[in-house]
Amino acid sequence: MSNKIQAVRGMNDLLPDEAERWEAFEDIVRDWLKSYGYRPIRTPIVEHTPLFSRGVGEHTDIVEKEMYSFEDRLNGEHLTLRPEGTASCVRAVVEHNLLYAAPQRLYYTGPMFRHERPQKGRYRQFHQVGVEALGFTGPDIDAEHIVMCARLWDDLGLEDVTLEINSLGEADERARHRTELITYLQGHESKLDEDGRRRLHTNPLRVLDSKNPDMLPIIEAAPKLMDFLGEASLKHFEEVQALLREAVVPYRINPRLVRGLDYYNRTVFEWVTTRLGAQATICAGGRYDGLVEQLGGKPAPACGFGMGIERVMLLWLEGQEEGALTRPDVYLVHQGEGTQKFAFRIGEMLRGAGFSAVFHCGGGSFKSQMKKADGSGANYAVIIGDEEVAAEQVTLKPLREQGEQRRLSVESLAEELAEALFSDNESDG
């Protein structure tokens, strides 16, 4: 007997009970995004590798260590499974000239891929909701994105989620800070860990984002980017904060918040929690005004964020009951000569009237079929035997509520079933 083939480590199956909850979450997310005027966009999961090395940054952990890249055997092109969604979204906007007519509010959902050590809420195939606003210059869109997230957490009933914000300023401001930071870190190079020494000259801002507690004193005393920001950057950041105060969204300024991707500038933010261990960030984003031009488009401002669905789901599902989330309205039980075709027709009639109906397949005794009907979670069984077929009738039997089974005509079944289900819902309420 051959060994079973299992899923790739860090790339997980979603079985029916869990997949139903994902669909329920996605329904909430779509309604939330539409309420702010955002429209869907879908991009391929495979892109040309230079899109990410140019857009995300050659010296980021994603590009250096985590991307799933390969050479196309047919034409030798270098391709990559997308590790994040912003670069793909901007590539599509530039390629199809979507900014020609008007600014764009866009969103996407789907799998992303990073080759890293799987851990709770962090997998090699993970899923994100991404939100991008392109063509908007003011601090109001930065604030809108943050306030949007606060509303979603409220819609989901999430607790223990807090907001951290910072400003990365503009490129020339970061350059001056970078020079000072490298000089400072070189003076403490012997105390840096391996990651810190590796990033010292390639991406020194990320040294400030280290989670190593031994490096905390060095980081705390490092030159702060905020001290290098000019008047325009400071004014933009203050206006973002003013709008957050207007919307009564609490926040904390975290000068160590830098983000791991090269394309960010000015406002950056993260929503964090203490409930997921080391994987504290559930949603992060900010402004990336240079990326559109960097990927071949005309200069255009942009702002966006992404949330990890797996991490948000872990918080959302805390305390929820396990098991199936949905159940059919009826289960069609049939036994006897000629009952199968009749029951099949009744099932299609009920679906056409807007009900969910499971048709029993595979035969079996009446007792075994009723056991399956009960196990399905259906509210009612529609029972069809030889007598029902001869009379063009069905028997409607309650499975969850007290009540007698009734013989009904085919013509009256849909109306009677609708009334019964409405009565059940009223009594549940």
Number of domains in the chain: 2
Does residue 193 form part of some domain?
A: no
Same domain? 139 vs 287: yes
Of 290, 316, 342, the position where a domain reaches its end is: 316
Q: Under 8 Å CB-to-CB from 211, ≥6 apart: which residues?
A: 278
Same domain? 260 vs 147: yes
CA 392, CA 408: separation in Å to the nearest integer? 9
78-81 sheet: strands from edge to edge: 46-48, 78-81, 68-71
39-40 sheet: strands from edge to edge: 39-40, 104-113, 125-134, 302-308, 281-287, 265-273, 161-167, 252-253
pLDDT tens string 213-224: 878 888 888 888
* pTM listed for this prediction: 0.83
Of 316, 346, 377, the position where a domain reaches its end is: 316
For the domain that residue 58 is a member of, what is the CATH number? Answer: 3.30.930.10
Residue 24 structural domain: 16-169+229-316
* CA atoms within 13 Å, Cβ hemisphere of 169: 19
Does residue 113 form part of some domain?
A: yes
The interaxial angle of helices 309-316 and 16-35, nearest 10 deg, is 100
Same domain? 92 vs 235: yes
Beta bridge partners of 105: 133
Does residue 344 form part of some domain?
A: yes
Averages of pLDDT over each 10 residues, the chain, 429 residues = 82 89 93 96 93 68 73 88 92 93 94 80 86 94 96 91 92 86 82 79 76 81 86 94 95 82 83 80 91 91 94 85 79 89 91 92 89 90 90 89 84 88 66
